[in-house]
Amino acid sequence: MRHISGVSVCGPLARYVEGFWEELAEQGYTPLSAANQLRLMAHLSRWLEAEGLDAGALSTEVMEQFLVVRRSAGYTCWLSERGMGPLLVHLRRLGVSPAPVSVVTADPVQVLVSEFVAYLRAERGLAPSTIGHYEMVARRFLSTRTTEGRLDLAGLKTRDVTAFVTSECTGRSVGVAKNLVSDLRALLRFLHLTGRTEFSLAPAVPAVAGWRGSALPRALGRDEVTALLKSCDRRRRIGRRDYAVLTLLVRLGLRAGEVARLRLEDLDWDQGEILVRGKGGRLERLPLPVDVGEAVVAYLRRGRGDSRCRELFLRARAPEGALSPGAVTAIVHQACLRAGVSPVGAHALRHSAATEMLRNGVPIAEIAQVLRHASTSTTAIYAKVDRNALRLLTEPWPGEAS
């Protein structure tokens, strides 16, 4: 029997208690949360001993049997394999419990989608987040071609492609619809490339009506941005982290994924620069403004804590790890709610950064450098935001005073 933090563990898992406790502490679990994990471990160990099993028997099937018993006993927490993740990962890392066995699926859609994903990763070199969008569209389209568990691609016609696009794009924004048809074209080219269709049906995908630059970029006003920053309680660790994240988004116009990928070594304090890991694996350096540097330093000194993780921004809750791009967007969303601002995504702050630079007289070419646009034509959309400058270019309507 092992006794730690008021929890007694007996049975086949008792010998692993100390190592598990140390690992939980390293991953940032509070003493209370770690003790609760030990209580779960104690319950599992008692059940294994009663069943005459050891840790090596903890297969997926055995885990399901234990969870059924745990639910029937009236427990309300950690009732799924995901909830038992920290303990299972620890035991599997030690080689004590067997790793989960991958189940080979006979689903023809899943088989083809997996092959398509492998192609996108190996041949196209796309990022995982981008591949996820392609995968979602491919799964939707291929699901319309299944009959009684069989995938019919030989009979695929132009009208089928058009019907799918019409159905999926109804009610969606222009941007989402354009991404959908682009992803579908990639799938149809892949199907022809691998010999699953006789002809490439990519040209049959209808174009989405939408003109580049026809709409104003959605940006927050100066007062709204100020309210977002003030909403962060910088007396708390999480507030200092969120303030640093928002400052990077507002001042440098970084994308959510770029903020999530920042590492400690990307900050060059001597040169006053920050290394940004942008789209397509590009590495680009930007000047580090004083206010951004001060916000990051405050987080590093009194917010981030002592962690072995090299990513700059970490999750507030255990297990320890880097923020995801989705978490960066969530930080913006929560700040909007606190500040009483209509919720926007992280990209709106990128638009806000560009708009503010334009109002301060920064040339379009320099804004393009900060935003790291491949072409200044992409940045030119922000010229429409400066209405005061545009008024100087307008001519009076004939017959009216200027």
DSSP string for residues in 23-64: HHHHTT--HHHHHHHHHHHHHHHHHHHHHT--GGG--HHHHH
DSSP lists the bridge partners of residue 274 as 267, 286
Q: Which residues contact 39 (CB under 8 A, 6 or more apart)?
A: 7
What's the CA gap between 401 and 398, in Å, rounded? 8
**Cα-atom radius of gyration of the chain, to the nearest Å?**
27
C-beta of residue 313 within 8 angstroms of C-beta of residue 296? no
Spot the catalytic one: 15, 279, 282, 333.
279
Q: Kindly report the CA angle at 130 between 209 and 137, in degrees rounded to 5? A: 60
Q: Which residues contact 128 (CB under 8 A, 6 or more apart)?
A: none
Q: Does the annotation mark 347 as catalytic?
A: yes
What's the CA gap between 277 and 262, in Å, rounded? 7
What's the CA gap between 358 and 219, in Å, rounded? 12
C-beta of residue 297 within 8 angstroms of C-beta of residue 305? no
Phi, psi of 289 (to 5 degrees): -60, 155
Spot the catalytic one: 139, 192, 347, 384.
347
C-beta of residue 184 within 8 angstroms of C-beta of residue 166? no
Spot the catalytic one: 16, 119, 243, 382.
382
Spot the catalytic one: 145, 255, 261, 351.
255
Give 16's DSSP letter: G
Q: Does the annotation mark 157 as catalytic?
A: no
Q: Order of strands across the sheet with 267-268?
A: 267-268, 273-277, 283-287
What's the CA gap between 314 and 232, in Å, rounded? 16
Strands 150-151 and 273-277: unpaired
Q: Kindly report the CA angle at 329 between 212 and 307, in degrees rounded to 5? A: 135
Buried b / exposed e over 351-381, threshold 16 CB at 10 Å, is bbbbbbbbeeeeebeebbebbbeeeeeebeb
Q: Which sequence positions are flagged as catalytic?
A: 255, 279, 347, 350, 373, 382
